[in-house]
Amino acid sequence: MSLSLTESVEDYLLEIFLITRQKKVARLKDLAKRRKVKMPSVVNALRNLMNDGLVEHEKYGYIELTENGLELAKKLYERHKTIYSFLHEVLDVDESMAESDAHKIEHYLHPGTLKKITDFMEFVRRSEREKHAKWHEHFVYFSKNGEIPDDCDMLSAKEKETAMGKQKKLGDLKKGSSGRILSIISDSSNSSIKARLMSMGMIPGAEVKVEKIAPLGDPIDILVKGYHLSLRKKEANQVIVEKIS
């Protein structure tokens, strides 16, 4: 059965499903309370659901999902649960915020996009369960600190050797060369430099390109996220990059 339902009607159908899971039966007042609307709005929504053959409701009686209504409601519930889990469990978004945002975006996602999110979540879970990876732990650390954690290392010995060979200080890149920021060297003597660099968009994962180098090698003009920045050699040498071109 293929129906084109409005966002509001989908929400009502999902609410009926959730209420019946909690209380076994759903009433008009239950829907009005959960949706925070007046009774006429609920009656109008129910009329649309009844016309589509998704619910049954007799005046002053309980609201019941039809077989088609239950099937569709379960799909809506799984969609909502998937998006909520992605926001809260994977991206570490606060519970209430994740719940609110899930309601806002779930109606507009293409099924293909939802499938990709589902696949990604399964990939992360299986990687952590079967390979003892720390995807979520590392992401949470990066989200809070803006740095890749020291134990975020899943390369083989040969891959490490290759990667190390590509690592350079930003100040050592030639004019026209590009790199991807891996880290910013930090200690008690340069904490203010690190904070300044990160405030300008110099964060791990960002791509940078050396546009100009002064005749004596100082300062260096770089391009990052579409902006030109002028860095002293000392500042540029605090930035470790992987050369990409």
Instruction: Render pLDDT for 50-80 as a digit per residue (tens, 0 to 9).
Output: 999 999 988 778 899 999 999 999 999 999 9
In CATH terms, 160-243 corresponds, of 1.10.3720.10, 1.20.1250.20, 3.90.1660.10, 2.30.30.90, to 2.30.30.90
Q: Does the pLDDT of residue 202 top 90, yes or no?
A: no
Helical segments of 131-224, H only: 135-145, 157-166, 191-199
Residue pair 1/8 in contact by the 8 Å Cβ criterion:
no
pTM of the model: 0.56
Which residues is 162 bridged to in the sheet? none
Write down the pLDDT at residue 68.
93
The size of the chain, in residues, is 245
pLDDT at 207 over 50: yes
> Quick check: 11 pLDDT over 70?
yes
Q: What is the CATH number of domain 1-144?
A: 1.10.10.10
| pLDDT (0 to 100) of residue 1 | 45
pLDDT over 80 (residue 242):
yes
Compute the average pLDDT of residues 195-214: 82
Q: Average pLDDT of 200-205? A: 79
- Percentage of residues in the chain having pLDDT higher than 70: 89
**Extents of the domains making up the chain:** 1-144, 160-243
The answer to whether residues 62 and 27 touch, using CB atoms and an 8 Å cutoff, is yes
pLDDT more than 90, % of the chain: 27
DSSP helix/strand/coil, 208: strand
pLDDT of residue 165: 57
Q: What is the pLDDT of residue 13?
A: 93
Which pLDDT belongs to residue 142?
Answer: 84
Q: Note the pLDDT of residue 186.
A: 67
| Sign of the alpha-carbon dihedral angle for 90, 91, 92, 94 | negative
Residue 11: both structure tokens together: 């929400």
| Burial 190-202, CB ≥16 within 10 A → b, else e | beebbeebbebeb
Nearest to 242 by CA among 204, 215, 213: 204
What pLDDT, in 10s, does the model give residues 105-124?
Answer: 998 889 999 999 999 988 88
Cβ–Cβ under 8 Å, residues 14 and 73: yes
35 pLDDT higher than 70: yes
Structure tokens at 111: 């099924």
Output the pLDDT for position 190: 59
Which is more confident, 218 or 2? 218
Helices and strands per DSSP (H, E), number in the chain: 10, 8
